[in-house]
Structure 1
Amino acid sequence: MKKIITVAIFALICSLNTAQAQGGGQMDPAQMLEMMKQRVKPQLIEKTKLTDAQADKVLEIQLWSQGEMRGMRDLSEDERAAKMKSVNEEKTKKFKAIPLTDDQIKSVNDFYEEMRKNRPQRGGGGSK
């Protein structure tokens, strides 16, 4: 009986570790923002010449934008385009409220576009 209980506990621990490892990509927004501040913020400041406070606000807005874009796979192409346009317009309004100039907004958008181009592609395994 002790062996069965020991094996059951061991299996439970293994399954919890596996589930935790697989769920590693799911962070709460606060963790994601902190990670972005550590990894992205220095490059953002360097390439866009924003202040530290401006960069923090840009990262918060970018995180909000990413959250709004999630789940768009289920939408039709037209619905997806409309949603993206709406989110991008709202993002620009939020950037202007920081306040950022039009040139700063352009440099931020260029920075994120460059990041998207340089990001390794997920899944598929195909080459470009």
Structure 2
Amino acid sequence: MKKLVLLTLMAGALMATTAQAQTAQAAAAEPAKESAKATPASTANPGMDRASLLEKMKETFKAGMIEKTGLSAAQVDRVLELNLDMRLTASRELQGLSDADRSARLAELKADKMKKFSEFLTADQIKSVDAFYAEFAKNNPPKQSN
């Protein structure tokens, strides 16, 4: 579970960094009046909008998750949507928070996600999803940047 949180935070940080860089480039190119408009992280990169990210997640996880967890395709789609929503929310809301505030907000987001999972998954199914992500993280460690 800790690896899942770490992967989620890393992905969120990457998306936030990309969005900040693009916002900075846009601000330098536009007049000061125009640059005052904030660009949401989810729409900062046309290739990285929510729909594109969701499709990429489905390509990466859907078949394996169905096979390993026994969930239906609709359940897997819903799990992936909720995970993506949490990642996007975390990347947007955790920026600039102190470590204590970040931990507290992340715990709230995780609790909300688990509550939503429990609306359409059993406790055993939730455990199988967690095990699937843990195995995926174990087999696909984050790449070290030099």
TM-score, normalisation: structure 1 = 0.69
For these two proteins, the number of residue pairs brought into alignment is 102
- SS for the counterpart of 2:145 is coil
Q: Which residue of 2 aligns with 1:13?
A: none
In structure 1, distance between residues paired with 2:129 and 2:57: 14
Q: Which residue of 1 aligns with 2:83?
A: 62
Q: Which residue of 2 aligns with 1:111?
A: 132
- SS for the counterpart of 1:68 is helix
Percent of residue pairs bearing the same amino acid type:
41
Tell me the C-alpha RMSD between the 2 structures: 2.3
Opposite residue 111 of structure 2, the aligned amino acid is E
How far apart are residue 123 of structure 1 and its match? 4.8
Q: Which residue of 1 aligns with 2:113?
A: 91
Structure 1 residue runs of 4+, over 2 Å off? Answer: 23-26, 71-74, 113-125
Q: Which residue of 2 aligns with 1:41?
A: 62
How far apart are residue 107 of structure 1 and its match? 1.2
Q: Which residue of 1 aligns with 2:31?
A: none
Q: Which residue of 2 aligns with 1:74?
A: 96
Opposite residue 91 of structure 1, the aligned amino acid is K
Q: Which has the larger radius of gyration?
A: 1
TM-score, normalisation: structure 2 = 0.61
- SS for the counterpart of 2:102 is helix
In structure 2, distance between residues paired with 1:26 and 1:86: 29
Alpha-carbon distance change, 70 to 118 in structure 1, aligned in 2, over 3 angstroms:
farther
In structure 2, distance between residues paired with 1:26 and 1:83: 28
Q: Which residue of 2 aligns with 1:52?
A: 73
